Amino acid sequence: MALTKMIKPVTMNNLISTIKASNIAECTLPFSVYSSIKEQHLLNVPVVKPLFIAVLDGDKKLGKKGEILCRAGDFIFLSDSPAINMRNIPKDNEYFALLIEFEYEDFVGIRVENTINSSENFTVGEISIALEKCLLQFVEWSLYAPQAMWSLRKKELLQLLCYLGHPEVLAMAAPHKLGQKIHSILTKQPSADLSVSVLCQQVAMSESTLRRKLSAEGTSLQEIKDQVKLGFGLHLLQTTNYSIVFIAEQCGYQSQSRFSSRFKERFGLTPSALRKTKTKG
């Protein structure tokens, strides 16, 4: 146990330093990095696909009352959720987290011996040394590997989580819902405002059927459009230094003020307020 406590912080630092040394801002990669030097309190954050979050520095609280706590050295695996409240809390230096989003196909073919009985839509665990090393390899490998191979390493990560005693992560994936399919279509062109007729054509169904099925899933076309545009804006604010004007344009908003207004309605703070959590002063 003493050896684990001695090695763990060093390995975590290796992972953080490797990520920071990589020019990830200029690459399309199978992971994202969120960091801040001031607390971030975000409301209604959409989780569209199964999401693995490794908290490497600081604390993360989730839920309306912050009832789910992840400290540095913990991970949380989330299933899709229309909205969840999050607080990213820096400690001595910063808040720093590695995020990996999974596709349904990444879960296909993975089997475990024990039956999975989980009614929860999340699971929390400790980042063991084996998992840390796997994540380090995942980051280093991603900088050079072709996109066609991403799913193979994601399957490897899922299998390791199962081996380490977290088979419930396999229950976090479900076959594609219509809403997820619409989301994927819109994500390819977040700045575009695709018409209902175009979307109906791409999913091969009438407008009335599309709206009825989305309603049965507890969502709507407008809600999905907001998730795509504002979720993309949140991602760009967290991972780039692009100007807010540019981000607004990339999200399909004609003005920064309109984007800022909609962003605050959704997440509880303005883009400029969020940007200030990442800088000194």
In a domain, 56, yes or no: yes
Question: CA–CA separation, 232 vs 223, rounded Å?
Answer: 14
Task: Return the CATH number at 127.
Answer: 2.60.120.810
Cβ(196)–Cβ(207) under 8 Å?
yes
- The CA–CA distances, whole Å, from 237 to 56, 115, 234, 260, 272 equal 20, 40, 5, 12, 9
Is the residue at 243 inside a domain? Answer: yes
State how many domains the chain has: 2
- Helix axis angle for 221-239 and 178-187, nearest 10°, is 50
Query: How many other CB atoms are there within 10 angstroms of residue 254's CB atom?
Result: 9
Whether 74 and 125 have beta carbons less than 8 Å apart is answered as yes
Tell me: the pLDDT tens digits for 183-228? 989 998 898 889 999 999 999 999 999 999 999 988 999 999 999 9
> Given phi > 0 = left and psi -120 to 50 = alpha, else beta, which region is 215?
alpha
Alpha-helix runs per DSSP H in 118-206: 129-142, 150-163, 178-187, 196-203
- 144 and 159 both lie in a single domain: yes
Structural domain boundaries enclosing 186: 178-276
- The verdict on 114 and 22 lying in the same domain is yes
Count of helix runs (H) and strand runs (E) in the chain: 10, 9
| Together in a domain, 42 and 145 | yes
Mark whether 192 and 123 lie in a shared domain: no
Residue 281 lies in a domain: no
Instruction: Look over the chain and give the mean of its residue pLDDT values, rounded to a whole number.
Output: 89
Q: How far apart are the first and last CA of the chain?
A: 41
The verdict on 168 and 247 lying in the same domain is no
Q: Judge if 167 and 48 occupy the same domain.
A: yes
Residue 113 has pLDDT above 90, yes or no: no
Q: What is the pLDDT of residues 47-92, one digit of tens each?
A: 989 999 999 999 999 998 889 999 999 999 999 887 899 999 998 8
Give the number of other CB atoms < 10 A from CB of residue 58.
23
pTM to 2 decimals?
0.90
Q: Give residue-wise pLDDT tens across range 26-51.
A: 678 899 999 999 999 999 999 989 99
Q: Are residues 95 and 184 in the same domain?
A: no
Contacts of 144 (CB under 8 A, 6+ apart): none
> Which of the 8 DSSP states describes residue 122?
E
**Domain containing 242 — which CATH number?**
1.10.10.60
Rounded-to-integer distance, Cα 191 and Cα 182, Å:
15
Contact status, residue 234 vs residue 45, Cβ threshold 8 Å? yes
